[in-house]
Amino acid sequence: MRQQKHAPARRSRGLTLLELLVALSIGIFLVGGVISLFLASKRSYTETDRFSRVAESGRFALVTLGRDLRQAGFFGAAGLANLSTDPDTGAVVGDCTAPADAYGFGTYFQVVRASAAGVAVGCVTDAVPNSDVIIIKAVRAVPLTDGARDNRADDDGIIDRPEAINNQRAYILANTDRGVLFRGNDGTPPTITAGGDVPQGEAWQYQAFVYYVRATGNVPTLSRKTLGWNGANMAILTEDLVQGVEQMRVLLGEDRTNDGNVDVLVDATAVVDWTRVLSAQPNLLLRSVEPEPGYVDDRTYVLAGTNFTPGGSFRRLVISETVSMRNSVFLVRSGF
């Protein structure tokens, strides 16, 4: 039997120093590329997220403003000339001055300019200097009745459909001939019975708003003064709506030829007759809440014909919407 021959064993060897250095260099290069890509993606995501938040805030602000602008001047079935105020209504705590006084429904829409000190209409003392302040008065489009319309047995003259009068709100009680503004807790509220103050009238919740950009803390905010209940009385309260609104200017469409159509677009300081303002275009300059390291905003933004160059390290966006003042249009075109 022949004996098998074994192949000689190969000598094993490790990496040379040169090979190790090359491998390390390639690894470092690949890891560096991955990190660079990750940081770029994160930065892009952060920028997109901030810009999306700014845009989302802007949309909410315009929706809120637009809804109330469209409602301005609506006071139920009664015409503006036929409205009066119940003598028991009393004063409003912290009330604004004209044209923003809470029960001054005759001035249902107006825009004023805050002073260089941020003061306007008596109740606004913390506005962004030289920003616009929007005054809106109207009723909610939800009438309250005594139920007689859907239940003839319920004809007792007490308003209870779809809800009763709330003592912590103000209302306009109106029919097609007249209307009375009153508080829910008035000592002797107007009546809706035959021969009463407003026969077969409906109650509409009355609202008064003063929108403005509030210079509060480090983040300017779209806020509003609103007629509400302070726990004891009707009062002017402050509501913060949208953070990051930096400036507001309003472009207004005015009918100067009495034909029911917009003739000129002007800012708040150039309006001749507020009863003939048929459209409003709020322009908002929004910014991110937090600054962005390494970013410098050197752009100039145009709001209602005025240039603003705020600077700093914030992402910014200008948004606007043209709103038809439909109640003003109706009044002008119908000759009231």
Predicted pLDDT at 7: 55
Residue 227 and residue 170 in contact, taking contact as beta carbons nearer than 8 Å: yes
Residue 63 and residue 69 in contact, taking contact as beta carbons nearer than 8 Å: no
* 46, pLDDT greater than 70: no
Residue 166 and residue 149 in contact, taking contact as beta carbons nearer than 8 Å: no
The token pair at 119 is 């003061």
Predicted pLDDT at 289: 87
Nearest to 180 by CA among 147, 139, 221: 139
* 321, pLDDT greater than 90: yes
pTM for the full predicted model: 0.84
Predicted pLDDT at 148: 58
> What is the number of H-type helices and E-type strands within the chain?
2, 15
Domain spans of the chain?
48-334
Predicted pLDDT at 204: 95
Predicted pLDDT at 187: 82
Q: What is the mean pLDDT of residues 131-157?
A: 82
The token pair at 257 is 């030829």
Which backbone phi and psi does 299 adopt, to 5 degrees? -80, 155
Predicted pLDDT at 28: 81
Quote the CA–CA distance of 116 and 113 in Å, as a whole number. Answer: 9
Quote the CA–CA distance of 105 and 322 in Å, as a whole number. Answer: 23
Quote the CA–CA distance of 272 and 266 in Å, as a whole number. Answer: 10
* 27, pLDDT greater than 80: no
| CA-to-CA dists, residue 63 to 24, 57, 241, angstroms | 58, 10, 12
Among the residue ranges 24-33, 103-112, 137-146, 226-235, the one predicted with the least confidence is: 24-33
**Strand partners for 303:** 306
Residue 288, classed as helix, strand or coil, is: coil
**Strand partners for 173:** 180, 203
Q: For the segment 208-218, what is each residue's pLDDT rounded down to a tens digit?
A: 999 999 998 88
The token pair at 156 is 């007792």
Percentage of residues in the chain having pLDDT higher than 90: 60
Residue 9, classed as helix, strand or coil, is: coil
Quote the CA–CA distance of 147 and 154 in Å, as a whole number. Answer: 6
Highest mean pLDDT among 23-27, 57-61, 155-159, 319-323: 319-323
Quote the CA–CA distance of 101 and 94 in Å, as a whole number. Answer: 10
Predicted pLDDT at 73: 93
Give the rounded distance of the alpha carbon of 124 from its chain centre. Answer: 16
Of the pLDDT bands very low, low, confident and very high (cuts 50, 70, 90), residue 147 is low
Predicted pLDDT at 5: 56
Q: Are strands 301-303 and 277-287 parallel, antiparallel or unpaired?
A: unpaired
Report the sign of the C-alpha dihedral through residues 97, 127, 69, 325, in that order.
positive
Q: For the segment 78-117, what is each residue's pLDDT rounded down to a tens digit?
A: 888 899 999 989 899 999 999 999 999 999 999 999 999 9
Which backbone phi and psi does 23 adopt, to 5 degrees? -60, -45
Quote the CA–CA distance of 320 and 283 in Å, as a whole number. Answer: 4
Residue 120, classed as helix, strand or coil, is: strand
Nearest to 111 by CA among 134, 139, 128, 93: 134
The token pair at 279 is 């459209």
Quote the CA–CA distance of 266 and 250 in Å, as a whole number. Answer: 9
* 139, pLDDT greater than 60: yes
* 328, pLDDT greater than 80: yes
Nearest to 285 by CA among 314, 326, 319: 319
Quote the CA–CA distance of 198 and 190 in Å, as a whole number. Answer: 7
